[in-house]
Amino acid sequence: MNVLKELRHRTAKALAPLVDDPQPFAAMVKPAQDAQFGDYQANCAMPLAGKLKQKPREIAEQIVANLEVDDLCEPPEIAGPGFINFKLKDDWIASQGQALLNDERLGVEDSEADRTVVVDFSSPNVAKPMHVGHLRSTVLGDAICRILRFRGTQVHSDNHIGDWGTQFGMIIYGYKHFLDQSAFAENQVAELSRLYRLVNQLSDYHAAVKALPELEEQLQSQQQLLEAKRGELDTSDKKARKEIGKLEAAVKATQDRIESTRSKLKEVESDPALKALADQDLEIARHARLETAKLHQGDAENTELWNQFLPACLAMLHQMYERLDIHFDMELGESFYQPMLTDVVDSLKQQGLASESDGAMCVFIEGNDAPFLVQKQDGAFTYATTDLATIRYRINELKADEILYVVDARQSEHFKLLFETARQWGFDQTEYQHVSFGTILGEDKRPFKTRSGDTVGLESLIDEAVAQSRKIVDEIDDSKPDGPELDAETRANVAEMVGIGGIKYADLRHNRDSDYVFSWDKMLAKDGDTATYVQYAHARICGIFRKGDIDRASLRTASGSPLISAPEERALLLQLTRFGEAIEAVCEDYRPNQLTQYLFELSNLFSSFYVNCIVLKEENAELRTSRLKLCDLTARTLQTGLKLLGIETPEQM
């Protein structure tokens, strides 16, 4: 049972004689802000005062008089201006705990079986190695899928892979010009990946050669402008200072770009072999694009290469997903929708939605300056077109009631236009949601990069996390009072779970809308709100069962509800009954940080319980059994909760 829902339901009944629509007022029942006020509180008497023209406390008294809650609560108390405070009865909490003990779902209601949700997340480009930029979408999207599924929703997780874009042209070009046959024979994926990076680097090099003089010129004119403004503007004037500040920032930005451009040049020029390759083709970028265009036009050779390379590229991605324990129901990439795009644009034209503007096909949405561009001047389709085709497919074929896009917040305008276009196109019975998220920042508050300014590869990020947690595992296990407990293999497994769990948890614990600062120290810290802390609480419980040689299954069917003999037991049990609330809170607006917060609090309450309530050596057999039940329920809730976030739980650490 979801206690919060139940209390709202009861409150709604009590409100029925007072107002026509009690729902919004019943929704004002919330978990108590402060334990001193009880467990839950109703805040609806105050806003009703104005509406009913009575004093809030009088209204509260009427509500309390109508309330039928004596089976679950102590008599509700009215406090302050008109708060109604609920304190759950100990024996009721205990009976709830007993019920949860035999509930596979741990109190989470299964209420959404008739609802189909498509979750679009991760969506990397094939052939490019995944990097930190993919982390949030991947981790967040996976957690959302798991949580929705656990709640009973029909979920289709879809990896909308970029498998039809310019990067394939680069690989094809690289294959035709720079292939190392023996390397290719030995490891196809590694060689393709090398070719991609090589062509990309050479393209960047030529772009840099071209850009440098322009940048230097730009810098000069910016500096001149700055000097001029400094001379003519009155620095005591705020507007003028601001203008100068902006110019200074622009100069700095240009200087940074020049520096990074120079380092790109140096990288190639300091390597004679690389320089020679660069000199072979001064227009490599254009030629690579040409390969892409040939592919799109159905060129036989390039199509064959695409067919040959794609499985290998996907395999490379799957390796990463396997390690992250992330799986998709489908991987319908851009290429899948390619044959439908002409028809999409025709359909939009027919309905009068799309019209020509500056040689491109555009959908203009009222209230938006920028058009939604579905076909470019050169006739090529855009990702807008693909996204529309995808929507049509998801609704017609997958019967989606709702589509979630777990994508960076910077694309919000695109989705605004996409959703509105889809609705006007006729797909207006489906809910669309851009589950947006902020940027991962480095300690310098700039987007997270390596020391040298490159994007951080996902693989190296994970390796680093696992290596660091391995050091901690070794250190702690070696210093255990009774000697080390873990063999090398176990240590490696624990390090993997702690390292990857740490990365995922650090991401999920933040409100998805916020940018957050990536910190190794905080992510893997032994203290604080981390995966490690939650995993440790779970491992301690497993230790109890191991040492006591406890049969957990028979524990669950043992007679008698848990006993509440100490405040720590009550607090722990109460939290355990609230797992369903936490899941609901996540689903409300797709915010997994609601679940991390719940799990952290649960771990915290357990740790207090652990310190204050001895379990195995408890002499009172009934109390010992009761506490073992709390341990079992806590362990299962922690394990299930972490699993819903995609995080594993070691039994020993």
Partner RNA sequence: GCGCCCGUAGCUCAGCUGGAUAGAGCAACGGACUUCUAAUCCGUAGGUCGGAGGUUCGAAUCCUCCCGGGCGUGCCA
Of residues 199 through 258, those in contact with RNA by CB under 7 A are 238, 241-242, 245, 249
Choose, by CB under 7 A, the member of 20, 358, 489, 619 that binds RNA: 358
**35 touching RNA, by CB under 7 A:** no
CB of 352 to RNA, least distance (A): 16
> How far apart, in whole angstroms, are the C-alpha atoms of residue 171 and residue 571?
59
Q: How far is the CB of 431 from RNA (least distance, A)?
A: 17
Alpha helix segments (H runs only) across 107-180: 135-150, 166-178
**Smallest separation (angstroms) from RNA to the CB of 631:** 9
Measured between alpha carbons, how far is 439 from 443 in angstroms, rounded to an integer?
13
Residues 79-138 that bind RNA (CB under 7 A): 79-81, 83, 85, 125
Cβ 246 to RNA, closest distance in Å?
Answer: 8
User: Could you tell me which of 139, 72, 149 has the C-alpha nearest to residue 108?
Assistant: 149
Q: Of 1, 19, 27, 566, which lies in the binding site for RNA, with binding defined by CB under 7 A?
A: 27
From the CB of 573, what's the least distance to RNA, in Å? 16
Stretch that binds RNA, among 67-75, 193-201, 449-457, 504-512 (CB under 7 A): 504-512
Interface with RNA includes 33 (CB under 7 A)?
A: yes
Residue closer to RNA by CB (options 95, 455) is: 455
| Residues 505-544 contacting RNA, CB under 7 A | 509-511, 513-517, 519, 522, 525-529, 532-533, 536, 539-540, 542-544
d(CA 98, CA 292): 62
Is 634 an interacting residue with respect to RNA (CB under 7 A)? no
The strand pairing partners of 157, in sequence order, are 119
Q: With residue 284 as reference, give the H or E element that holds it.
A: helix 284-296
Determine the 3-state secondary structure of 373 from DSSP. strand
The amino acid that residue 134 corresponds to is: H
Footprint on residues 268-307 left by RNA (CB under 7 A): none
Q: How far is the CB of 154 from RNA (least distance, A)?
A: 25
Q: Residue 625 CB, nearest distance to RNA (Å)? A: 13
Nearer to RNA by Cβ, of 392 and 510: the residue is 510
Nearer to RNA, 577 or 649 (CB): 649
Instruction: Using the minimum distance from each CB to RNA, give the nearer residue, 359 or 426.
Output: 359
Instruction: Using the minimum distance from each CB to RNA, give the nearer residue, 206 or 591.
Output: 591
The answer to whether 634 and 598 are in contact (CB under 8 A) is no
Decide whether 150 or 383 has the Cβ nearer to RNA: 383
CA dihedral of 451, 453, 458, 462, whole degrees rounded to 10: 10
Binders of RNA: how many residues, by CB under 7 A? 106
The residue from 351, 412, 450, 460 that contacts RNA (CB under 7 A) is 412
DSSP type of residue 517: E
The nearest distance, CB 271 to RNA, in angstroms, is 28
Asked whether 602 and 163 are in contact (CB, 8 A), the reply is no
Listed in sequence order, the residues at least 6 apart from 352 whose beta carbon sits closer than 8 Å to its beta carbon are none
Q: Which is nearer to RNA, 231 or 367 (CB)?
A: 367
Report the nearest approach of RNA to the CB of residue 269 (Å): 27
Only segment of 74-82, 137-145, 317-325, 338-346 that touches RNA (CB under 7 A): 74-82
CB nearer to RNA: give 71 or 378. Answer: 378
Q: Is-contact 167 128, C-beta < 8 A? A: yes
The reply to whether 36 sits near RNA by the rule CB under 7 A is yes
**Alpha-helix residue ranges (DSSP H) falling in 375-530:** 383-396, 412-425, 458-478, 488-508, 520-523
CA distance 420 to 427: 9
Shortest Å distance, C-beta 228 to RNA: 20
Closest distance to RNA from the beta carbon of 186 (Å): 31
Return the structure tokens found at 530: 């981390």
Radius of gyration of the chain (CA): 30
What is the SS3 assignment for 67-119?
CCCCCCECCCEEECCCEEEECECHHHHHHHHHHHHCCCCCCCCCCCCCCEEEE
Shorter beta-carbon distance to RNA: residue 188 or 604 = 604
116 versus 375: smaller Cβ distance to RNA: 375
Subset of residues 590 to 629 that bind RNA, contact rule: CB under 7 A: 591, 593, 597, 600, 603-604, 607-608, 610-617
Piece of 30-38, 96-104, 218-226, 306-314 that binds RNA (CB under 7 A) = 30-38
* Least separation in angstroms between CB 619 and RNA: 12
Helix/strand/coil percent split, the chain, to 5: 60, 10, 30
Based on CB atoms, which residue is closest to RNA, 187 or 342?
A: 342
Site for RNA in 540-579 (CB under 7 A): 540, 542-544, 547
Interface with RNA (CB under 7 A), residue from 47, 152, 442, 457: 47
Site for RNA (CB under 7 A): which residue of 99, 315, 370, 467?
370
Query: Within positions 435 to 474, which residues make up the interface with RNA, using CB under 7 A?
Result: 438-439, 441, 445, 469, 472-473
Rounded to whole angstroms, what are the CA distances from 32 to 37, 84, 449, 583?
Answer: 6, 10, 42, 18
**Which 149-208 positions form the footprint of RNA (CB under 7 A)?**
162, 165-166
Closest CA to 165 of 283, 282, 288, 287: 288
| Spatial separation of the C-alpha atoms in residues 650 and 653, rounded to whole Å | 7
Considering the complex, what minimum distance in angstroms separates the CB of residue 527 from RNA?
3
Beta sheet of 29-31, edge-to-edge order: 29-31, 40-42, 83-86, 77-79
Nearest to RNA of 105, 414 (CB atom): 414
The token pair at 300 is 């036989």
Binding range to RNA, per CB under 7 A, among 66-74, 92-100, 131-139, 373-381:
373-381
**116/302 with CB nearer RNA:** 302
C-alpha 569: how far from chain center:
33
Q: Write out the H or E segment, with its range, that includes residue 29.
A: strand 29-31
DSSP 210-274: HHHHHHHHHHHHHHHHHHHHHHHS-TTSHHHHHHHHHHHHHHHHHHHHHHHHHHHHHHHHT-HHH
In angstroms, give the least distance from the CB of 627 to RNA.
8
